[in-house]
Amino acid sequence: MQDNIIPVITIDGPTASGKGTVASRVAERLGFHLLDSGALYRLTALSALRAGANLADETAVAQVGHYLDCSFVGDQVFLGKEEVTEAIRAEEVGNSASRIAALPAVRQALFDLQLRFRTAPGLVADGRDMGTVIFPGAQLKVFLTASVAARAERRYKQLIGKGFSANMDGLLADLQARDARDMNRAVAPLAPAADAHLLDTSNMTADEAVEQVLGWYAEK
């Protein structure tokens, strides 16, 4: 099946908007492949941190991304043969990923890798620029939003539930800083595609959001 007829659903949005959960469940319901593009940046950040690379050195970090050896098996994320699903969710890695995502050379290094995830029978791509940059011709584009307070509460529960320490005030400040970086970066700033469906999940359950996305896709 040619790439241009393999269906793609893009689900973009800010940190902790629920896009990862929604994308995973939509992919499962449709039997599609899943691309967690944010994980690619987190994997690059984790690799760069472990290698002692200077995160401000764009060329060095881009090299790490270019040679990234990663894979996704169900809900598990692998760096080489090491399972790093929890490691890439640490706050230091998340903050570092947001910083390096603003570097044009890093984004270019990961561009081709993301395109290769488009395989039959279809793909659900979760990220920040899936509908605007990576898959601009996607059959369905969704942009998830939620209030900063709602996102901070979700992130707090997620971290506590996984055994990480968390502070609500710190999470609020962190999310606001990440939003500012993501929306104001020079390359592929966080913004909904012109033809994206906007979905505010502040007062929605994940199941409700999934049903809405599936309903939009059925209309296509």
In terms of Cα–Cα distance, which of 211, 186, 193 is closest to 201?
A: 211
Task: Specify if 220 maps to a domain.
Answer: no
Q: Which amino acid is at 167?
A: N
The average pLDDT across 12-31 equals 91
Q: Is 19 marked as binding a ligand?
A: yes
Please determine, for residue 1, whether its predicted confidence score (pLDDT) is greater than 50: no
* Chain mean position to CA 38: 3
Q: Is 157 marked as binding a ligand?
A: no
Listed in sequence order, the residues at least 6 apart from 2 whose beta carbon sits closer than 8 Å to its beta carbon are none
Task: Specify if 39 maps to a domain.
Answer: yes
| Dist. CA 33–CA 26, nearest whole Å | 10
Q: Is 161 marked as binding a ligand?
A: no
Please determine, for residue 195, whether its predicted confidence score (pLDDT) is greater than 60: yes
| Dist. CA 19–CA 2, nearest whole Å | 27
pLDDT band, residue 143 (cuts 50/70/90): very high
Paired tokens of 174: 């962190």
Task: Specify if 37 maps to a domain.
Answer: yes
Per-residue H/E/C for 23-54: HHHHHHHHCCEEEEHHHHHHHHHHHHHHCCCC
Task: Specify if 28 maps to a domain.
Answer: yes
Please determine, for residue 2, whether its predicted confidence score (pLDDT) is greater than 70: no
Question: DSSP for 152-215?
Answer: HHHHHHHHHHTT----HHHHHHHHHHHHHHHHH-SSS-S---TTPEEEE-TT--HHHHHHHHHH
Q: Is 18 marked as binding a ligand?
A: yes
Give 71's strand partners: 78
Q: What is the pLDDT of residue 183?
A: 79
**Contact of 154 with 17, CB cutoff 8 Å:** no
Query: Which whole-number Å values give the CA distances from 62 to 21, 106, 164, in the listed order?
Result: 28, 4, 29
Q: Is 17 marked as binding a ligand?
A: yes
| Dist. CA 185–CA 14, nearest whole Å | 14
Q: Is 119 marked as binding a ligand?
A: no
Q: Which domain holds residue 27?
A: 3-215
Task: Specify if 56 maps to a domain.
Answer: yes
CATH number at residue 138: 3.40.50.300
Q: Is 94 marked as binding a ligand?
A: no
Question: Mind listing the pLDDT tens digit for each residue in 59-83?
Answer: 999 999 988 988 877 678 899 999 9
Q: What is the pLDDT of residue 165?
A: 81
Query: Which whole-number Å values give the CA distances from 81 to 51, 72, 76, 109, 128, in the listed order?
Result: 17, 11, 11, 21, 27
Task: Specify if 211 maps to a domain.
Answer: yes
Task: Specify if 66 maps to a domain.
Answer: yes
Overall domain count for the chain: 1
Phi, psi of 200 (to 5 degrees): -90, 115
Question: Mind listing the pLDDT tens digit for each residue in 25-61?
Answer: 999 999 999 998 889 999 999 999 999 999 999 999 9
